[in-house]
Structure 1
């Protein structure tokens, strides 16, 4: 089938005029025949023995391991991720392949339940059928590898739509599976824009949707998947991992050097473009001024530049839209609060250094909304109870942490944090 959709360009966020790949895409009227091609493989693939499906994952891991440095380099080029984190992303992808390959043998082998005379009950796992994977750009190899490999090894046929911001990494994953011996048609690589993902989610033949991305898009997918189309004989299952607005508490007993290092690693790692990133730092008043000054000094020393140079700890944001969003929130924070640091970077890329804002009310959009950039809001409180209440005063959080030498405060945080 010749794809008739618009061309999709992959560019280097450090040098936006540099095109690193061009991809053809589907047109919307080609969705139905593409889904049918996948459906044609379902009966055969689901009957492939577990150990054979697992072996394909292990072969894919072997190939990925051989090309680890190359894949990390592509991720640096396409998404602006610094060397250390790009290498870790490939390592995580390898872990997913190895884990799901072993796990399907463990849980997929039929197990007898009970020993009642005259009965032989077994627990047997069956694939759901046709799986759609809609993957993000910020972990452009690890997350799609996990979602795709879990679906494939379970016997599902997969329609894989990588992010339109990182199609090259999605293509590399697709070719690795093909080289490892995955039968043609069992995994379909479908680069394209949001309209492709929307059409796949709505399709009545889809059984499973695995998504990682923003809360807005994730909730839209859940809502759309709940609709049962005419002739649809199943309920779609959605696995959605969405964004977060995460806090770290620093109390009066904390080792401040350790706290500053940890906060910065979380807030500026991959330029803050992670759903797990810290963006709110809640500090007890006794150590607030000292912590804030040390945080400013440390953030001012971070090297920023093209991520292919290993000395640079921060690279560019993913694209102009991301940079404009960050600048919008920073300006709101400056207008309504105090800007302690705003490291803007000259050059052709979408660079933004660390930002530290203070004196903002807890209800302010900068404090409440996920920005997806290296923007930190430092909030002062008087008690650990107030700190925990403020940490939980967010519509969604995936992670939370505390720097403290107080066993009592650590236990309070362990019990009180509403995250995950």
Structure 2
């Protein structure tokens, strides 16, 4: 059996490969992880530094592959490869800060040592929107910590997954230490349920993450780190520069064709003062270039990942219209055979019982409210809790927003997306399970071991003897 991927922008076949064998790949990694863990920390670090150099040397073909398989503009694909390269140095520094060896003084002259051990064999399930950066964000810190990896890329971006795995091998990570298993959702489920795993690191939808959480509830000894989506609010309030606020709104909502988990899904504004802002946003939306990844001039956004995703987004847009939403800019599809969607802005203020869902594409829903308390209430009207931004307002207003917004990433006068890799990244509610990644990825890649140590055994029983 084989798996095939297609270029979203053209429909052309890009890659075909064999469906993987989960049992064989887990067994291979299981046989290799102890040897990798026994290697000195410095050896593992230097191996991953070679990986960064190999990726740097292949930046252009790597970026080209990402652009073709995801449809994202080439400039954005290059940025993704650069983040992959930088992840190594960031992970080394994070490991030193989060999981370094510590020595403390204990009772009776004993030493207390705190060190960290790798879990063993970890599965990594990657998404299609950042098919290199996001799985790499799990894999690099996990390898540095001494784990072996079984990596399943998204079935929509298998070529990037295979390319990324080959870079690790070329850099000197033993082939048995990181394995790539290709396949669809059934392969992912088989991998997640495999008894040979010591944990799973997941990036994807809330529905899949919730299913994994239920499954892993029966195996509390296994690590589970969930990085899921968001129904993220962008509150624009008393903005001094309307054009800048509009630019931040467009960047938040439509970067990567809206296919970032941190993209703004809901724009919250003060009713009555919103017209100039909406005018600026729509004027900028009308200027956005939507085209294939290698187009000249360079596009701001490309297609969504495939026609199924485009169909679902259009259906979601039409459902909102049917429930009373008012279109400001419609979601149009220029070619019914290709997943190019124009960015859409829709007023859902009058829609009752709005669906709390992550519509993963270029659709921004505006909600008008009367005061800032109502804005915060609306921002928190979601089961998700990944990202939230306030644009405008005073420092005191931002303090109120920060204190009351329920999210793991809270920004001021910045877009909802683009969180730095040098800080923890994660959300609450349906957005994660309190295992933040990025800088804090080291926390879930190794577990602490506390030891009380003395060179000479000393013991007394001072009470209770006859």
1:270 maps onto 2:259 in alignment: no
C-alpha distance in structure 2 between counterparts of 1:202 and 1:156, whole Å: 18
Residues 286-332 of structure 1: CA deviation (Å, up to 9, x unaligned): 42122122222221221111121252111001011110110011101
Q: Deviations over 1:50-109 (max 9, x none)?
A: 010111110000111111122111111000111232122112111212222344456555
Question: Does 2:290 match 1:301?
Answer: no
Instruction: Give the length in aligned residue pairs.
Output: 405
Asked if the contact 1:354/1:375 (under 8 Å) is kept, the reply is yes
1:381 alignment partner, one of 340, 345, 369: 369
Alignment match, 1:412: 400
The 1-side partners of 2:291 and 2:98 are apart by: 46
The C-alpha deviation readout for 1:8-37, integer Å capped at 9, x for no partner, is 111100011x011111012xxx43233222
- Match among 72, 78, 83 for residue 74 of structure 2: 83
Query: Aligned to 2:365, what secondary structure does the other structure show?
Result: strand
- 2:88 corresponds to which of 97, 114, 128: 97
Structure 1 match to 2:28? 37
> Equivalent of 2:203, from 204, 212, 220?
212
1:231 is aligned to none
Does 2:18 align with 1:24?
yes
Aligned CA distance change for structure 1 residues 165 and 410 (closer, same or farther; 3 Å): same
Q: 1:91 to 1:404 in 2, by over 3 A?
A: same
Match among 271, 290, 304 for residue 317 of structure 1: 304
Return 5+ residue gaps in structure 2 as ranges.
409-466
Are positions 1:371 and 2:359 aligned together?
A: yes
* Alpha-carbon offset, residue 111 of structure 1: 2.4
Instruction: Report what 1:72 is aligned to.
Output: 63
Aligned equivalents of 1:97, 1:130: Cα separation in 2: 20
Q: What RMSD over aligned residues (CA atoms) do the two structures have, in Å?
A: 1.7
- Cα pair 2:331 2:363 within 8 Å, conserved: no
C-alpha distance in 2, partners of 1:130/1:96?
Answer: 21
CA distance in 1, matches of 2:77, 2:185: 25
CA deviation string 1:216-251 (max 9, x = no partner): 0011111112224xxxxx711100000100011111
Aligned match of 2:313: 326
CA distance in 2 between partners of 1:390 and 1:25 (Å): 45
Q: Are the structure 2 counterparts of residues 42 and 240 from structure 1 closer, same or farther at C-alpha, using a change threshold of 3 Å? A: same
Q: Which residue of 329, 332, 349 corresponds with 2:338?
A: 349
TM-score (norm: length of structure 2): 0.83
* 2:181 alignment partner in structure 1: 190
Does the 8 Å contact 1:214/1:243 carry over to 2? yes
| Contact in 2 for aligned 1:57/1:101 (Cα 8 Å) | no
Q: Structure with the greater relative contact order (CA < 8 A, sep ≥ 6): 1 or 2?
A: 2
In 2, the alpha carbon distance for the partners of 1:237 and 1:226 equals 11
| TM-score (normalizing by structure 1) | 0.92
Equivalent of residue 191 in structure 2, options 171, 177, 200: 200
* Secondary structure of residue in 2 paired with 1:276: coil
Distance 1:226 1:343 in 2: 40
Q: Secondary structure at the match of 1:121?
A: strand
The 5 A counterparts of 1:69-218 are 69-104=60-95, 110-114=101-105, 116-218=107-209
The structure-2 alpha-carbon separation of the partners of 1:333 and 1:34, relative to structure 1 and needing over 3 Å to count, comes to same
Counterpart-to-counterpart distance in 2, 1:118 and 1:402? 53
CA distance in 1: counterparts of 2:334 and 2:221, whole angstroms = 51
Residue 362 of structure 1 deviates from its aligned partner by 6.3
**What's the offset of the Cα at 1:117?**
4.5
Aligned residue for 2:118, secondary structure, equals: coil
- Checking the alignment, whether the CA contact within 8 Å between 2:237 and 2:270 is kept in structure 1 is yes
CA spacing shift, 1:106–1:283, aligned 2, 3 Å: closer
Contact 1:111–1:122 under 8 Å retained in 2: yes
- 4+ runs deviating over 6 angstroms: none
Structure 1 equivalent of residue 233 of structure 2: 247
Q: What is the DSSP-based 3-state SS (H/G/I as helix, E as strand, rest coil) of the residue aligned with 1:327?
A: helix
Aligned 1:9-20 pairs, distance under 5 A: 9-16=4-11, 18-20=12-14
Deviation digits for residues 178-205 of structure 1 (CA, Å, limit 9, x no counterpart): 0111112110111111111111111122
Q: Is the 8 A contact 1:89 1:141 kept in 2?
A: yes
Aligned residue in 2 for 1:3: none
